[in-house]
Amino acid sequence: MIPSRTATQLAVASSSRGATASLARQLPPTVNAKQLRQKVQQRIAYIDSEQPQHRNSLRPPLPPPISPHASSSKSAPSLVDSHSRHHSYLRISLTERCSFRCTYCMPAEGVPLTPDDRLLSTEEVKRIARVFVQMGVKKIRLTGGEPTLRKDLVDIVRYLDSLRGEGLESIGITTNGLVLARSLPELVAAGLTHVNISIDSLLPDRFASISRQSPKTLARVLATIDDSLRYAPQLKVKLNVVVIKGMNDDEVASFVEMTRHRNLDVRFIEYMPFNSNAWSTQALIPAAELLQRVQAAHPPGSVQRHVDEANDTTRHYAIRGYKGRFGFISSMTDHFCSTCNRVRVLADGNLKVCLFGNKEVSLRDAMRSDQVDDEGLGKLISGALDRKHFKHAGMRDPKEIWEAAEGRSLGGGLGREMSRIGG
């Protein structure tokens, strides 16, 4: 077990140089990268063993399994894969551009952007959304890059709202919050139901170091969070916090404290490897360790487990008496692949059935060929889902995912930076 660290060891410099250098001294002398990797792999082995109740003990029962042959692309189009998982949650990336340059998401030199004429048009986004809803999608989230950079964002949300009669229940966006306030009233009026705001530090200098923005930017994001909460209960507000050991993990308590008087969800996300984001096992801190810290900082019994939705990626908790909740997305150490119901369409129209996979299918090319109707598009989607692996695109553990991110595995890499995949 990794020894607990002192407050001094957890402290990091707020400057970019200090935040980077802190990663080199984040572990006690008695713990090295190999030991930490072994701990992570042991954790994964436990979750993958005959302990299915560990993850789902506080989730409602799932519906009966659907026969795998129902997902075959040779039959009617379906969002059921060969592991009997029904995909009811679609994420659509609207742009590869972003106003932030977060260190875990984008390399300092930026990323090559797809030419505008190769990105999905407004009408193509609408068509893809309609086909997925007709196939059974209940929830759509618009991502980027930064989706608020798309001038047609309100129009797209308004169109999605028109699909409620066909079964769509939830319309969300993931944003850095920088300019959201400008269009928030229009978005809510158009039908927006959920907003996820990414924020990785509550300290101005550290926020600037992580996002590569001015320290003054944090105040604007915090103001946007409070603005968004004014639209409750019509609008559900969540915060996304990527936790990196030695960089911002000492702020977990501060983020939890935000839920005392605010009816929002704070989600702590394990640091995941993507192309050129300098991921390492030393920077990964397991969600279980973060939970132990929160529990140790509050009276016994005051940290209460909440019931999650059947396909929720987050394990939710709340402090007794607090208005909001907090939770953990443990993609690396406690995966939730068995209940995965998510699929992604990237800004260039490529379908990505797993976040960690490098196999993509171009829906854009199919639509522009003028030879594929909506049913044919549905069959193309079904065929891609038929080939979806059970977990992590067929990779076994964080080390293999890391090697894929850096292009060192036989699979040839994950294919893209996170900023080009979408949040």
Instruction: Please indicate, yes or no, if residue 65 is contained in any of the structural domains.
Output: no
pLDDT digits (tens, 9 = 90+) for 254-271: 999 999 999 999 999 998
More confident residue, 66 or 130: 130
Instruction: Please indicate, yes or no, if residue 54 is contained in any of the structural domains.
Output: no
> Which residue do the tokens 């008087």 mark?
261
Q: Lowest-pLDDT range, 72-81, 99-108, 371-380?
A: 72-81
Instruction: Please indicate, yes or no, if residue 271 is contained in any of the structural domains.
Output: yes
Q: DSSP for 302-348, please give it.
A: -EEEPPPPTT-S-EEEEETT-SSEEEEE-TTTS--GGG--EEEE-TT
Instruction: Please indicate, yes or no, if residue 403 is contained in any of the structural domains.
Output: yes
* Structural contact between residues 389 and 357, judged by C-beta atoms closer than 8 angstroms: yes
Instruction: Please indicate, yes or no, if residue 300 is contained in any of the structural domains.
Output: yes
CATH number at residue 392: 3.20.20.70
pLDDT digits (tens, 9 = 90+) for 271-301: 877 655 566 667 788 999 999 999 999 999 9
Q: How far apart are CA 281 and CA 406, in angstroms?
A: 14
Domain that holds residue 278: 77-421
Q: How many CB atoms lie within 10 A of CB 46?
A: 12
* Structural contact between residues 180 and 148, judged by C-beta atoms closer than 8 angstroms: yes
Q: What is the pLDDT of residue 318?
A: 97
The DSSP secondary-structure symbol of 86 reads: B
Q: Is pLDDT at 226 greater than 90 in this prediction? A: yes
Instruction: Please indicate, yes or no, if residue 156 is contained in any of the structural domains.
Output: yes
Q: What is the pTM of this model?
A: 0.80
Overall number of domains in the chain: 1
Q: What is the pLDDT of residue 231?
A: 97
Q: What is the pLDDT of residue 284?
A: 83
CA 296 vs CA 54, 290, 291, 303, 359: distances in Å? 21, 10, 9, 10, 43
pLDDT confidence tier of residue 167, bands split at 50, 70 and 90: very high
Instruction: Please indicate, yes or no, if residue 25 is contained in any of the structural domains.
Output: no
pLDDT digits (tens, 9 = 90+) for 34-53: 555 555 455 545 444 444 44
Residue type (1 letter), 175? T
pLDDT confidence tier of residue 253, bands split at 50, 70 and 90: very high
> Could you check whether the bond before residue 423 is cis, i.e. omega within 30 degrees of 0?
no
Instruction: Please indicate, yes or no, if residue 19 is contained in any of the structural domains.
Output: no
